[in-house]
Structure 1
Amino acid sequence: MGPVNVGLDIGATKTLGLVVDDAGAIRAEVREPTEPGAEGVLRTAARVFEALRAETGAELTGAVGVGIPGLVDTERGAVKHAVNLGVNGDWLHLGDLLADRLGVPVVVENDVNAATRGAVAMSGEDDLVYLSIGTGLAAGLVLEGRLRRGDHGAAGEVGHIPVDPNGVQCECGQRGCLETIASGSALAAAWPSGDVPPAQALFAAARAGDTKAVAVRDRFAAGVASAVRVLALAVDPRTIVLGGGVAHLGEPLRVAVADALLQQAASSPFLASLDLAGRLSVVPSDYPVAAVGAAMLGR
């Protein structure tokens, strides 16, 4: 096996590990349920890494890239406020702790930023916004080839732009944030669906002509379109890629958001001239964009 890179995408429910070669091809893939808490996260990551070693039969001595939710200090390889993982309070020095267990260097990045790097690799574009529609709503920005984190690490936190003063209280403490309209958790609240993922259930019901489902879908799509519009007007990227758990819908999601963008631009020649709908794409449902991006960190 030639030169390879290892990436771990640590999420609230699962940790996905990949071995990716220099051409971007996936050579091995392992997924395990994530154990909660600092020790659980470390144990899960180590288990996935050892399983990748076993599957490839390779030593995997290069640096491991890790994408993880929360506030990440990339210089120190530390994370905090990864609430869904049970990592709260003080900084968890994940990079050092994991490097000790694995015996290789570890590079840590916020999961959305890691996925943004994966979107760059996937699209070949180096000027893009990656909009992650998962439990929350957040964007990664690569502008002219450079990742923009922001002075406080808050670049792309578009989900916390308030758009409805009469809206529901957001986790962040503000009221009526975009995230309360245009996220996986907002969909789950608006369209409870039992065992089926809410986004799949909602779009299927809307496709079947359920008028309430059509209204809920269109409000959601308009919220995502508003996030796209804000990002495009702020940094004017060449392309906008939709990702995150809800993006597993694939083309129906892109079409719904593109339609909402066209409606929003109908009364504005200025907006229409920007062709936001035409700049939109969606991550293929079988492409593990965050884990691929994490693997690129280790190069």
Structure 2
Amino acid sequence: MEAVTAALSVGLDIGATKTLGLVLDPDGAILAEVREPTEPGAEGIVRSAARVFEALRVATGQPLEGTVGVGIPGLVEVERGAVKHAVNLGVNGDWLPLRDLLAERLGVPVVLENDVNAATLGAAALDDATDLVYVSIGTGLAAGLMLDGRLRRGEHGAAGEIGHVPVDPQGVVCQCGQRGCLETIASGSALAAAWPSGGVPPAQALFAAARSGDPAAIAARDRFSAGVASAIRVLSLAVDPASIVLGGGVAQLGDPLRMSVAQALLAQASSSPFLASLDLAGRLRVIPSDYPVAAVGAAYLGR
């Protein structure tokens, strides 16, 4: 990781439902944290970010003059500071020059990054790690890669799109147009389809039912965990990271998720001495539920 400066750092995590902003001190401690609903569309995103930024300034009582890091879903072209295909935010069609729009409204420099990549930086900051895979299990399934201290974005910004690796030729059609992708098995949306739960988050409902001994819940949980384990196996065989970190909305489950995925990894390695020797289960950890990983990573972007 690069050396930090002595200034305060601001990070914004812009999501479909909320914009979470925070201020880090030079040692990486969170000084202030603000959450506001996200308005859709270009102007709505900018207004939401401006409200959060102003609230952070008031909360800290200090001028926030450094570069603001912003994480946002969608395809991000970092050099241009533009975003595309952030469908849940109402950003469709042509590239949106969000970096420049935000910089003009906030009055400070802005750096833009994909939200999973920003979260990867936040995950690395937890242990000052330089080599890891961050697996984000939210509505979809994606990964961030930090290799030898550098983010790997890929030529087209598609590095880590593990959710769109097809694994089941007989599976359902994925939103990407392929059939049987990992995302159709190992994601929050897959859990919601497999275990409708009313007002309770599907992951919590499913894991609770599995703990109570419900055979159908146990089967659904194990299929989901095997899908996450398959994603980890593919990523790890490709880049062999020092650590594997689970994050995203489903990771709010905490250690029960880690244990279930670790058991699936051990089961997959049971017939392969080679795979067993890699100890993928032993490299696995989960983001603490109270750690705003994407916003923290966005703040580090500004440094």
**TM-score of the superposition, structure 2-length normalised?**
0.97
Q: How far did residue 273 of structure 1 move?
A: 0.4
- Selected match of 1:264 from 268, 271, 283: 268
**What displacement does 1:84 show?**
0.9
Unaligned runs of at least 5 residues, structure 1: none
2:100 alignment partner in structure 1: 96
For structure 2, the residue ranges without an aligned partner over 5 or more in a row are: 1-5
Question: 1:123 Cα shift?
Answer: 2.0
Aligned-partner Cα distance in 2 for 1:141–1:251: 22
Residues in 1 aligned to 2:109 and 2:7: alpha-carbon distance in whole angstroms: 16
Q: Supply the RMSD in Å over aligned alpha carbons.
A: 0.7
1:64 aligns with 2:64: no
| Structure 1 segments of 4+ aligned residues over 4 angstroms from their partners | none
Matched, 1:43 2:47: yes
Cα distance in 1, alignment partners of residues 237 and 225 from structure 2: 18
Q: Percent identity?
A: 80
Report deviation, 1:45: 0.5
**Candidates 106, 117, 131, aligned match of 2:135:** 131
What is the distance in 2 between the residues matched to 1:228 and 1:163?
13
Alignment partners' CA distance in 1, 2:131 and 2:102: 32
Partner of 1:249: 253
Given the alignment, which residue of 152, 155, 178 partners 1:148? Answer: 152
Q: Deviations over 1:229-263 (max 9, x none)?
A: 00000000000000000000000000000000000
Matched, 1:119 2:123: yes
Q: CA deviation at 1:3?
A: 2.2
Number of residue pairs matched by the alignment: 298
The one-letter code of the counterpart of 1:52 is: L
Say whether residues 1:76 and 2:71 are aligned partners: no
* 2:223 aligned with 1:213: no
Partner residue in 2 for 1:176: 180
The one-letter amino acid paired with 1:282 is: V
1:54 shift after superposition: 1.0
Match of 1:283 in 2: 287
1:290 alignment partner, SS class: helix
Deviation, 1:36, is 1.0
Q: Deviations over 1:206-231 (max 9, x none)?
A: 01111110000000000000000000
Partner of 1:228: 232
2:189 counterpart of 1:185: yes
Post-superposition Cα deviations, 1:101-124, rounded to whole Å, max 9, x if no partner, equal 010000000000000000110122
User: Which residue identity does 1:261 align to in structure 2?
Assistant: L
